[in-house]
Amino acid sequence: MKNKLKLTALGAAALLGLTGCGLSPSTGTVPPSAPGEIQPIPGLSEEKPKVTVTSKSFTEQLIVGKIAVIALQTAGFDVTDLTNVPGSQPARELLVSNAANMVWEYTGTAWLTYLGHEEPVPGAEAQWKAVRDEDAKNGLYWGAPAPLNNTYAMAMNEETAKELGVTKLSQLKDLDKSELTFCVDPEFNSRRDGLTPMLEAIGLKRGSDVPESNVGLYDVGAIYSATADGACNFGEVFTTDGRIKALNLTVLEDDVEYFPSYNMAPVINGEFYEQYPQVADVMAQIAPLLTDEVLMDLNYQVDVEGGEPADVAFAWMVQEGLVTEP
């Protein structure tokens, strides 16, 4: 396992590419903020200690990255905004190397991708604890996770939801074969933790209970509109995607606990955490508020309505009383 935890050649090259090219702070600024529930940390030097926040480059990560930037500037830090890093591995290596001090990360990503495990740990809390304990060996501190779980799910359009009356994944086994139609992407269709094992977990057999003609293959982005248009009854989605709200899709509860847990949690470089453990306390004020519904709405405001991630993040923080306008 030690070898897996060292920089891979690809990861090292990515990191060197970022640092060698002078990866620069985010060009998007965040609005000025004043204290609300988040207060200046007592005892910080008047010179304001420096902290660097990073994130990956997709919408949800940009939003939570900006939330962290705003929170820490309000708490009294001089914040370098290094959000919008292209790729999970480069963002991870920035944190491990202490080139960045904090990121919001997903438990499933850390367990399966960074730590190299082949199987998820069942249950959100158990998965977080497993990641927390193992990643401590890499010098990383995992704060308490948010309720947000950005994992796979099956969704229906409004008409289908009313017609079939199902709300849980397990209820698919009670449906007629003709109603078990799916829109999925090619990867989910074939991978060992994808569609076929999901059907088995429910109690359905692919080929007999679910004929191959019932499975339609689409690009990931096209699945949402295909499901909304009725091309299938059940579409593969990600639980916090803003298109769920935009297209009024209904997400089935994963009551068989098939999909891995991808709860978001603040991860802090251990060296920085030892010096400023209060950063974890600031993030602990935010994490309980980050639910699937909240991020679905914030993602919607950016992806569908065209809002800037920093502005959307700030408006939400003001609404929640975490910060105020100066």
Q: Which domains does the chain have, with CATH numbers?
A: 46-149+262-324 (3.40.190.10), 152-251 (3.40.190.120)
- pLDDT value of residue 25: 56
- pLDDT at residue 116 is higher than 80: yes
pLDDT of residue 192: 76
Determine the residue type at 302. Answer: V
Average pLDDT, the chain: 91
Average pLDDT over residues 71-97: 96
Q: Is the dihedral of CA 199, 203, 207, 210 positive or negative?
A: negative
Between 287 and 46, the higher pLDDT residue: 287
Entry field: residues in the chain: 326
pLDDT digit string, tens, across residues 182-207 = 999 998 998 777 999 999 999 999 99
Q: Which residues of 55-71 are buried (b: 16+ CB within 10 A; e: fewer)?
A: bbeebbbbbbbbbbbbb
Tokens of 86: 């292209």
**Mean pLDDT computed over 114-123:** 92
DSSP 257-324: --SPP-BEEEEEEHHHHHH-THHHHHHHHHGGG--HHHHHHHHHHHHTT---HHHHHHHHHHHTTSEE
Q: Give yes or no for a contact between 77 and 30, defined as CB atoms under 8 angstroms apart.
A: no
SS3 assignment, position 193: coil
Q: Which residue has the higher pLDDT, 300 or 14?
A: 300
Average pLDDT over residues 137-161: 97
Partner residues linked to 127 by β-bridges: none
Measured CA to CA, the distance from residue 226 to residue 237 in angstroms comes to 11
Q: Which residue has the higher pLDDT, 270 or 29?
A: 270
